[in-house]
Amino acid sequence: MKHAKTSRIFSLLALVLAVTMLLTLVGCGNDSGKKDDKKPDTKTTVSTKASETEDTEGTKEPDGTDATGSDATGTDASGSETDASGSETDASGTEGSATEGTKPTGTKPTPSKSSASQTRPTGDENILEKVPSNLSGTKIKMLIWWNVATDDTNEAAEFKKATGISVAYETATMDKYQSNLSGKIMAGNPPALAAIINEWYPQPITRGLMQPIKNTGWDYTDPIYATAMMDQFSYKGEHYGIALKGSNMTTFEVMFFNKKVLKANGVSKDPYQLWKAGQWNWETCLDIAKKCTNAKKDKYGLTLIYQNYWMLSKGQDFVLSDKNGLKNNIKSADLLEAWYHAWDMIHTHKVIPTMFSQQQQLFFNGSVAMLGGGSYFMQAEASHSNYVPQNVTDDWDVVPFPSPKGQAAVAGCKGTVWGFPTKVKGNQLQAAMWFLRYFLDDATYSARDFYPDDKLGTHCWEVMGWMWNQKIQSYNSVGVITYGGKHNAASVQYDLIDAATTKSQLKSNLDGWYAEIQANIEAINTEMD
C-alpha cells in the first residue's frame, strides 16, 4: 500500500483526527445498482492503510459494499473463492435464509402513496406480447443481492401470467455474490441471470463465470441498449452484460442543491437553470460554491460523497475498459487535470468541508449548499431515512454532476450490467433474455413513483433520462486496482488529495502507480488467455 509522505510529527490525537479527515475525504466506494432494503452498521477503523471511513451514517453502500471501499468480490486476499452458499425465493415472495442484503440504486422501491403523475422515459410497453409462445413453461432463476420485495414478486407474477415463464429469485449477500455464483455453476445448477457491477469487473469474465451475450442470438443494436455502458463491461471484443437506457439499475452521479441557501447567498441562477441554459459546468459550480462558503460560520458551498466524481465527469478513470480491453490510464493528462481540480476544490478554494464523516447530513441541515451524490438519494421512499426527500424541508432540486466547461457532458456512474452465467443455454437462455429485456425496461416502472411529486419528480426523471443519453464513464478501475488483494479502492486516491500531498506532488504520486496497475492488467490478461 502506498502512503503520502509528511515531514511533520503529530501528537497521537492530532494524528487520529488528521487520518479520520483524510480517509473520509477520499471516499471511493461503489454505490451502483439497486438501493438497499436495510443497511447493516459498520465500524470505523483508523489504520496506517488507505482504507476509508463510513460517509453514509455508518452504513453500507447501496450496492452492499461497505464504506471502506474494500473489494467485495467474495474472495480472500489471495483471490480464492470463499463460499458458495445462497438461498432461493420463488415468485410468491417467500424470503430465503440469506443474510439481509442491499438493493442497488433506484430500482423497484415500494411505490409512494402519491398518485401524482410523473414524466418518465419511454420504453416498450408491449414487450410482454412479443415473447415467443414456445418458451411457456420454462423456469429460470435470477441471482440477486437484495431482499426480494413486493415489486420483484409482482414483476415475476406479471411476466409468468403473460408468457408462461416462471422466475425464481436466488439471494446472495453482496460480498459472497461471485463465490455463490461460482459454486452454483460448478454444481451444474447456475442461475439463468446474474449481474456484473463496476467493482467486480473483470473478475466474473476472467473466472469464466459469464458467457458472451452474443450466445443469445439477439440483436443489440437497437438504440434502447446502453452500448456506452455495455462496452465498458466488455472484454477483448466480447460483451458480457446488458444495460438498457432509462433503467434505474445504475447509480449516476448527480448534484443536489438547496434553493433557500443559494438565494440567501445572492446566487441569481441556480444549477437547474444553468443546466437548462447549457451553462452548468465545473466553473459555474465553483462560482456558486464560493458564494455560499463562509468557513468561519462552518458554511460551505459543496460536499461530495466521493471525490472521484470529478474524474468520472471528465470521462476519465485510472483504468479504461472497452471492447479492445483494459488500458492503463494513469499517465493521462486529462486524468491529472481532473485530480488537480479535485485538489483545488479542497485545498485552494476551500469550498468543501474536511472534518466530517457524514457528508449528506451537512446538506440536510443547511450547512452546505450543494451535495454531490448517487442518484438513489433522489428516491422518496419513506423507509429510507438518509435520502434527500426525507430530510430536506427547504426547496431543493437536482441536476447532473457538472463536467468541465467546453467539454461534452459525461455522465459518471457506478455501472451495472446483467448477463448470463456459463452453462445456461437453450430455452433457459432465451427465456432469461426476454425476462431481462422486460425487467430492465423503463416501461416496467410506469406505475411507480420513485421520486417526489410534481415538479421535483419530473426533474428527477428528466435528469436520469438525460444522463443515459450522454457519454458514460463507469468507475470500473476498482477491480483492476484491487486485483490480487494488495490494495483497496482508496489506495490510489490516498496519494492524490490527502492533507499531506502538495499539488506539485500529484503527478509523481499518480505516475508511481503506473507499473503496479500495468502488472495487474497483464496478470488479468494472462488469466483470461
Structural domains of the chain, with CATH = 12-74+481-528 (no CATH), 87-249+413-453+466-474 (3.40.190.10), 252-403 (3.40.190.10)
| Residue pair 46/16 in contact by the 8 Å Cβ criterion | yes
Q: In degrees rounded to 5, what are phi and psi of residue 116?
A: -60, 140
| Residue pair 480/524 in contact by the 8 Å Cβ criterion | yes
| Sheet strand arrangement including 166-171 | 87-89, 166-171, 139-144
pLDDT at 235 over 50: yes
Tell how strand 410-414 and strand 471-474 pair up. parallel
For residue 265, what pLDDT band results from cuts at 50, 70 and 90? very high
Percent of the chain with pLDDT over 90: 60
pLDDT score of 250: 92
Query: What would the mean pLDDT of 301-318 be, rounded to a whole number?
Result: 96
171 exposure class (CB count in 10 Å sphere: 0-12, 13-18, 19+): buried
Query: What would the mean pLDDT of 214-220 be, rounded to a whole number?
Result: 96
- 519 Cα distance to chain centroid: 26
Nearby residues of 234 by Cβ (< 8 Å), 6 or more positions away: 240, 321, 322, 323
Higher pLDDT, residue 111 or 235? 235
Higher pLDDT, residue 509 or 24? 509
Nearby residues of 268 by Cβ (< 8 Å), 6 or more positions away: none
pLDDT score of 485: 86
Q: Collapsing DSSP states into helix, strand and coil, what is residue 146?
A: coil
DSSP strand E in 55-130: where?
87-89
The 3 state secondary structure assigned to 328-381 is: ECCCCHHHHHHHHHHHHHHHHCCCCCCCCCCHHHHHHCCCEEEEEEEHHHHCCC
462 exposure class (CB count in 10 Å sphere: 0-12, 13-18, 19+): buried
pLDDT score of 38: 27
Q: Collapsing DSSP states into helix, strand and coil, what is residue 274?
A: helix
Looking at every residue in the chain, the average pLDDT score rounds to 79
Tens-digit pLDDT profile for residues 171-212: 999 999 999 999 999 999 999 999 999 999 999 999 999 999
Query: What would the mean pLDDT of 460-489 be, rounded to a whole number?
Result: 92
Integer Cα distance of 77 and 165 in angstroms: 40
- Find residue 397's DSSP bridge partners: 257
pLDDT at 472 over 80: yes
Nearby residues of 294 by Cβ (< 8 Å), 6 or more positions away: none
Integer Cα distance of 252 and 309 in angstroms: 10
For residue 388, what pLDDT band results from cuts at 50, 70 and 90? very high
| Residue pair 394/456 in contact by the 8 Å Cβ criterion | no
Q: In degrees rounded to 5, what are phi and psi of residue 328?
A: -70, 115
Q: What is the pTM of this model?
A: 0.79
pLDDT score of 239: 97
pLDDT at 495 over 50: yes
pLDDT at 313 over 90: yes
Query: What would the mean pLDDT of 119-124 be, rounded to a whole number?
Result: 56
Cα four-point dihedral sign 190, 196, 199, 202: positive
Integer Cα distance of 411 and 414 in angstroms: 10
pLDDT at 469 over 60: yes
Q: How many CB atoms lie within 10 A of CB 486?
A: 12
pLDDT score of 127: 87
| Residue pair 146/60 in contact by the 8 Å Cβ criterion | no
Integer Cα distance of 440 and 115 in angstroms: 23
- Find residue 251's DSSP bridge partners: 414
Q: In degrees rounded to 5, what are phi and psi of residue 235?
A: -155, 120
- 472 Cα distance to chain centroid: 12
Integer Cα distance of 400 and 312 in angstroms: 12
Integer Cα distance of 321 and 476 in angstroms: 7
Identify the top-confidence range among 94-98, 445-449, 478-482. Answer: 478-482
Cα four-point dihedral sign 424, 427, 428, 432: positive
pLDDT score of 122: 55
pLDDT score of 108: 33
Cell of 357: 464523516
For residue 448, what pLDDT band results from cuts at 50, 70 and 90? low
| Residue pair 387/379 in contact by the 8 Å Cβ criterion | yes
pLDDT score of 11: 38
Which range has the worst mean pLDDT, 42-51, 140-149, 158-167? Answer: 42-51
Tens-digit pLDDT profile for residues 89-120: 333 333 222 222 233 333 333 323 233 344 44
Residue 127 Cα distances to 131, 165, 192, 495, angstroms:
7, 14, 19, 49
What's the length of the chain? 529
pLDDT at 246 over 90: no
pLDDT score of 450: 77
pLDDT score of 126: 83
For residue 123, what pLDDT band results from cuts at 50, 70 and 90? low
pLDDT at 47 over 50: no
Higher pLDDT, residue 11 or 69? 11
